[in-house]
C-alpha cells in the first residue's frame, strides 16, 4: 500500500502537492441524487440557485456536507456546485467514502466549495483534511478526485503566507509498517518503550443514512 501523502516539496515550503493514490473518492457517488435537509429553503428556479439555511445536511451517495448554510447552483447540464459556510464557532464539515474501502476522507474549513462536475472540493481558511490516520492542515486545501491530488498552502486561496506569518502547512503521515516486510514478534509489555502519539484524533461525525 502506498502512503496517503507524498510530499513533493521540502518541509517548510508554503505550498505542498500531495498525491492521494489510495484516497480515491467513491465513484458511484457521481450518479446518486442530492438529498438536502435544512430549517429554511429559498429557491430561484430562473437562476437555478437554492439556498439552504439552519443545520443543513447535504447527502449525495456517501458524500455528506454539514453546514449552517449551503448555496447550491446548477449549470445547464444539470451539474451542481455547493458552497458551504458555518458559524464563528462551528466550521462546515465534508465527508466521503474512499473507493473500495470502508474508510472515509473528511475535512473542514471556514468555507467549503464542492464542484460536482469537476469532482473538486476546496477548503478555505483553518482547513484540514484527513484520511485514515494521515492528516494535513493549511489555510487552503484543494482536493481533486479525478487526479487524486491535494494542493495545500499556508496562505489563503492558494497563496503563500506573507513573510513573518506563523502560518505553515502541517502534515502528519503515519508509518505504513505493513510494507516493511514480515512482522516482528511482539515483545513483552514490560519491554515496550513509551509510544509517541501523533496529532490528536478528530472524532468522526455521526453517520446518517440518506433517505
Interval 171-180: pLDDT, tens: 998 887 655 4
Read off the pLDDT band of 3 (50, 70, 90).
very low
Q: Which CATH superfamily, name and number, covers 16-177? A: Lipopolysaccharide (LPS) transport protein A like domain (2.60.450.10)
Q: CA-to-CA distance for 100 and 108, rounded, in angstroms?
A: 23
Quick one: pLDDT band at residue 121, thresholds 50, 70, 90? very high
Residue 97 CB: number of other CB atoms within 10 A? 19
The residue written with cell numbers 428556479 in the block is: 45
Question: Is pLDDT of 208 > 60?
Answer: no
When pLDDT is averaged across residues 174-201 and rounded to a whole number, the result is: 50
Cα–Cα distance between 203 and 27 in angstroms, integer? 25
Q: Are 161 and 142 in contact (CB under 8 A)?
A: no
pLDDT of residue 174: 86
User: Residues with Cβ < 8 Å from 54, sequence gap 6 or more?
Assistant: 38, 39, 40, 68, 69
Tell me the per-residue pLDDT of 13-31, one tens digit each, with 9 for 90 and over. Answer: 344 444 333 345 556 677 7
pLDDT digit string, tens, across residues 135-151: 999 999 998 877 778 89
pLDDT at 186: 52
Amino acid at each position: 500500500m502506498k502512503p496517503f501523502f507524498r510530499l513533493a516539496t521540502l518541509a517548510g515550503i508554503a505550498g505542498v502537492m500531495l498525491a492521494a493514490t489510495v484516497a480515491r473518492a467513491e465513484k458511484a457517488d457521481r450518479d446518486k441524487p442530492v438529498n438536502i435537509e435544512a430549517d429554511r429553503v429559498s429557491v430561484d428556479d430562473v437562476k437555478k440557485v437554492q439556498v439552504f439555511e439552519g443545520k443543513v445536511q447535504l447527502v449525495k451517495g456517501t458524500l455528506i456536507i454539514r453546514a449552517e448554510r449551503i448555496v447550491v447552483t446548477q449549470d445547464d447540464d444539470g451539474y451542481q456546485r455547493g458552497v458551504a459556510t458555518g458559524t464563528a464557532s462551528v466550521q462546515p464539515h465534508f465527508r466521503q467514502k474512499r473507493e473500495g474501502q470502508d474508510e472515509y476522507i473528511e475535512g473542514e474549513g471556514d468555507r467549503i466549495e464542492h464542484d460536482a462536475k469537476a469532482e473538486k472540493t476546496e477548503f478555505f481558511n483553518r482547513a484540514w483534511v484527513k484520511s485514515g490516520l494521515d492528516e494535513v492542515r493549511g489555510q487552503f486545501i484543494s482536493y481533486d478526485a479525478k487526479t487524486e491530488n491535494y494542493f495545500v498552502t499556508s496562505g489563503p486561496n492558494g497563496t503563500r503566507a506573507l513573510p513573518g506569518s506563523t502560518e505553515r502547512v502541517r502534515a502528519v503521515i503515519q508509518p505504513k509498517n505493513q510494507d516493511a516486510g514480515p512482522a516482528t514478534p511482539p515483545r513483552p509489555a514490560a519491554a515496550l518503550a513509551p509510544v509517541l502519539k501523533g496529532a490528536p484524533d478528530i472524532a468522526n461525525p455521526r453517520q446518517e443514512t440518506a433517505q
